[in-house]
A and B are shown apart, each in its own frame.
Chain A
C-alpha cells in the first residue's frame, strides 16, 4: 500500500528540541532556514503518525500538503515522455537554454 506523506512546515525557536525530534522521529527534512532572531522555519515530509507525535511535543506545525506524493505524481507528468535528443538517422538539435542571446 502506498504510504501517504504529508508536507508540513515546522517553526520553533528551540534548536535542541527540534534537533532531537528530527533524529528521534527520523524526519525527512527538506527546506530549512534560520531567521536572524534564531527562529527555525523548516519543512519536512512525514507520515500522519509522525505528525501526531510532533504535535504532542508542542512544536508549531502547519500542514502544507495532505498528500505530497500525489502532488509529486502530478509533477511526473511534467517530465518528458519522449527523448528530444535521441540519436537516430539524424543527429539531434542540441538543447537551447533560457538565456536570451543578444
Chain B
C-alpha cells in the first residue's frame, strides 16, 4: 500500500515520525513531550536538522492538529519532514506541482535548511480530539478532557486555541461581546470553551514546553483549516507601532481590547511587524507557485478578536516572561473545508509544504 492513499490515523502520525527518526538518525531527532493526554497518549515532535544542542542555529516550530477536525495539519507536517530528509539524503532538490508554475527547491537550498536551521514539527498536538473526529464525531473541535463536563458528553473538551496563557481571562480584559471565546464548558455549539485556567490543558502545556526547552525557537507556525489565510500578529486587536505602553500586559487597557476602529490597538515594534508581514508574504509566494490563487495575508485580528491563541501566546512571551526568546507567531488556515476529500488534500499538502519550505529559506536571509 502506498503511504499516500489516505489521511493518517493518530497512531500513524506517531509511528511515521518515529520511522523517520529511525531512517535518518543523523538529520533528525525525536522529541518526547512530557504531558500525556487525558486518554493517555504520549506525543512526540520531530526536529529536522543537525540537533538542537547547537544554540547558534535558530529553530522554527510547526504545529498541527490543535483543532480535532482540522486533520490535514498533521499530514502537512509529517510529509514536509519526510520530503526534507529524503531529498537531503539523496542529494536531490524538491519540486511541488499544481495548477501554478510549480515550485522547485534546489539540493543546495534543501541542504541549507538542514545545515543552518532546526525545523521542529509537532504534527499532532491534540491526538485525543483528532481520533474522536476521525472515528466518531467528524466536526469535533476540542480536546477530550472530561473534567469540567459534569458527566454531560456535550460538555467534554476544551478549545486548545483559546487555552494558551495570553489574555485568557477575556471577560476582564476585552471589551464586552468582542472576542470569540466561551467561558462555558457546555457551550457545545460554538466549541470555543477556554478551559478552567490558562494553559490548563496538557496539550497546550506540551507546546509551551517546547518553547521553554528549546529557546532557539524563533518562529512558530500553527497549522489550521480553513479559509486559505496566512495570519500574523496580533489577534486581540489592530496593530500599532507608536505607543509601547498600549499593550496586552498593561492593565490600564483592560476591557478596552478587541473592538475595531477604536483607540486601543496592540503594540508591535515597526521592524517586528515588517518582519512578520514579509515572512507571511514569503509563505504565500511558495503557495502561489503551486496554487495560482494563493492565500490572503492579514493580521489575525483582521479575521476576528481572539484570546488565548497559540500564535499570540508565542509572540507575547518575550514581553510577558523574563528572559524568553522572541518568537514570531503565525497561523495558516489551509484549504476550503476542515478535512477536504483526500485527493484535494494532497494538493493542499503540496501548496503548504512549498510555502513552509519557502519560509525556511526566508528566515535564513
Contact = CB atoms under 8 A, between A and B. Distances in A.
Interface of A: 5, 15, 19-20, 22-23, 25-34, 45-47, 50, 68-69, 71-73, 75-76, 78-87, 91-102
A79 B96 contact: no
Contacts of B78: 95, 97
A23 B189 contact: no
Given A34-B302, A94-B20, A99-B96, A23 B177 contact: yes
A98 to B, nearest CB: 5
Contacts of B7: 75, 78-80
A31 B12 contact: no
A82 B133 CA distance: 17
A76 B180 contact: no
A83 B9 CA distance: 8
Nearest to B7: A79
Q: List the 8 shortest-distance A-B pairs measured between CB atoms, nearest first.
A: A72-B138, A97-B79, A97-B83, A99-B94, A85-B15, A26-B189, A31-B227, A94-B23
Nearest to B131: A79
Interface stretch (B267-275, B312-320, B321-329, B341-349): B341-349
Interface of B: 1, 3-9, 11-12, 15-16, 18-20, 22-24, 69, 71, 78-83, 85-87, 90, 92-97, 104-105, 133-135, 137-139, 141, 177-178, 180, 182, 187, 189-191, 226-227, 229, 260, 296, 302-304, 333, 336-339, 341-342, 346, 349-350, 353-354
26 contacts: A26-B182, A27-B189, A29-B180, A30-B226, A68-B139, A71-B138, A79-B6, A79-B8, A80-B12, A83-B15, A84-B1, A87-B19, A91-B22, A91-B23, A93-B23, A94-B19, A94-B82, A94-B86, A95-B79, A96-B86, A98-B4, A99-B95, A99-B96, A100-B94, A102-B93, A102-B94
